[in-house]
Homo-oligomer: A and B are copies of this chain.
């Protein structure tokens, strides 16, 4: 983009923030609250407009809060010791072990060999790989773009199904569409499967709704598994691949596995660490070991035995990036909440839906929350700007806290495949040119309806069974 355009957009964001200094301050609200809201709105807008990378925008926003004395330095930077922030950062570092050792690819090839006789089976092979990797790879972009996509692309091309080869492309197209949706669904499965998830935990926690790693995973399990089982079938029906039998895929995987040879010590160590890690995430709470402590412990172990080096850690730019923008945005959002702005907005907006019974309100508001993602190119920006407010609105009309927090939380992953720009992984999958835009939008709309139905009805029933409401 032209430098001038970016300056123009930055200027617009600054002017918008400044306008909040002129607003009348509502009764009982600290004037700093409206100033913070202004900076927050401008920050989110700058992220949406892609004025600069998210981290840079977050730094500008945070510095603005300090410089205008809206927040003290300590309040602005308080979230850098937040444990959910460090959970996701540590998991990012651990994820490096999957790519560094080659374990991630090995797992993918194993499932392709096992399930890849038919194209449909192949799509499930990629999907299962995603599920297995998701507990410890919180960057869905790294998981989809770094492990699954290269294998998908390789396979499709080896079947004469490169993006530029006419109708034959539709094997690659089918797999791409399934993988994009699978990434969105697996993102919802675990607290550590997607960077914005711990944000959701944080925001829900501020409303008194507590999740552990295990309780999240259990609540997500039934609707996620159902969605993962159904979605490939639906896409297979609506958008059938030209190549339906892929007897060579297993051979291809076999050959790749032969090239990789036996598991290296580093791969075995990584696998063992991963298993213990997930076990501790599930059962750690009973011994009083939190998920963050678990992640730190896993990371220390990988460093001590040399699977990862400190150089790997320092070079893992995605993690440092996440540390920064994550902590900065959580800080702004949490401070808004403690200033009472979120409550205030929730109460005022809920006047509109206040006349409705909570099930109708929940349905309408949650669906609105979902489809507003047509306007976002970042799950993060969407979650940061809307999750807390939408949750507050629904709680104020009497919606049951736990399922409401979960539903909005899971939707925050699911809408990641809604458009070709909806998330990092979708941008990567779309960028491969297997799937035309119109196809993407149509199929994703259908899938979104199915996902919403599954999570509301099956999810709702499951959470009732679990006694969450």
Q: List 27 A-B contacts (CB under 8 A).
A: A3-B306, A10-B304, A52-B303, A56-B303, A56-B313, A59-B296, A59-B299, A59-B300, A60-B300, A62-B296, A63-B293, A63-B297, A67-B289, A67-B293, A67-B297, A73-B81, A73-B83, A73-B293, A74-B81, A77-B81, A77-B83, A80-B80, A80-B81, A81-B81, A310-B321, A314-B321, A320-B320
- A310 in contact with B52 (CB, 8 Å): yes
Q: Does A425 sit at the interface, judged by CB under 8 A?
A: no
Contact digits for A69-102, partner B, Cβ 8 Å, 1 yes 0 no: 0000110011111010010000000000000000
Residue in B59, B73, B296, B315 whose CB lies within 8 Å of A66: B296
- Interface residues of A: mostly helix, strand, loop or mixed? helix
Interface size class of A (residues with CB under 8 A): 35 or more
Residue of B nearest to A299 (CB): B59
Q: Does A292 sit at the interface, judged by CB under 8 A?
A: yes
Q: Compute how far the CA of A240 lies from the CA of B303 in the bound complex, rounded to whole angstroms.
A: 47
Q: Does A432 sit at the interface, judged by CB under 8 A?
A: no
Q: Compute how far the CA of A290 lies from the CA of B292 in the bound complex, rounded to whole angstroms.
A: 33
Q: Does A167 sit at the interface, judged by CB under 8 A?
A: no
Contacts of A247 in B (CB 8 A): none
Contacts of A300 in B (CB 8 A): 59-60, 63
Contacts of A317 in B (CB 8 A): 314-315
Q: Does A53 sit at the interface, judged by CB under 8 A?
A: yes
Contacts of A78 in B (CB 8 A): 81
Pick the 7 closest A-B CB pairs, nearest first: A77-B81, A80-B80, A314-B317, A53-B310, A56-B310, A63-B296, A80-B81
- A320 in contact with B314 (CB, 8 Å): yes
Contact digits for A230-269, partner B, Cβ 8 Å, 1 yes 0 no: 0000000000000000000000000000000000000000
Chain A interface residues (CB < 8 Å from chain B): 3, 10, 52-53, 55-56, 59-60, 62-63, 66-67, 73-74, 77-81, 83, 86, 289-290, 292-293, 296-297, 299-300, 303-304, 306, 310-311, 313-315, 317, 320-321
- A314 in contact with B81 (CB, 8 Å): no
- B83 in contact with A74 (CB, 8 Å): yes
Contacts of A60 in B (CB 8 A): 300, 303-304
Additional A-B contact list (15), CB under 8 Å, known A55-B310, A55-B313: A3-B306, A53-B310, A53-B311, A63-B293, A63-B297, A66-B293, A73-B83, A73-B290, A74-B81, A74-B83, A77-B81, A81-B81, A314-B320, A314-B321, A320-B320
Residue of B nearest to A73 (CB): B83
Q: Compute how far the CA of A310 lies from the CA of B10 in the bound complex, rounded to whole angstroms.
A: 15
Contacts of A297 in B (CB 8 A): 63, 67
Count of chain copies: 2
CB distance from A424 to the nearest CB of B (A): 15
Residue of B nearest to A61 (CB): B300
CB distance from A80 to the nearest CB of B (A): 4
- Among A293, A304, A314, which residue has the most Cβ atoms of chain B within 10 A? A314
Contacts of A67 in B (CB 8 A): 289, 293, 297
CB distance from A388 to the nearest CB of B (A): 21
CB distance from A383 to the nearest CB of B (A): 21
Residue of B nearest to A296 (CB): B63
Contacts of A62 in B (CB 8 A): 296
CB distance from A74 to the nearest CB of B (A): 6
Residue of B nearest to A82 (CB): B77
Residue of B nearest to A59 (CB): B300
Contacts of A74 in B (CB 8 A): 81, 83
Residue of B nearest to A7 (CB): B304
Residue of B nearest to A319 (CB): B320
Q: Compute how far the CA of A73 lies from the CA of B321 in the bound complex, rounded to whole angstroms.
A: 22
Contacts of A296 in B (CB 8 A): 59, 62-63, 66
Residue of B nearest to A87 (CB): B73
CB distance from A376 to the nearest CB of B (A): 20
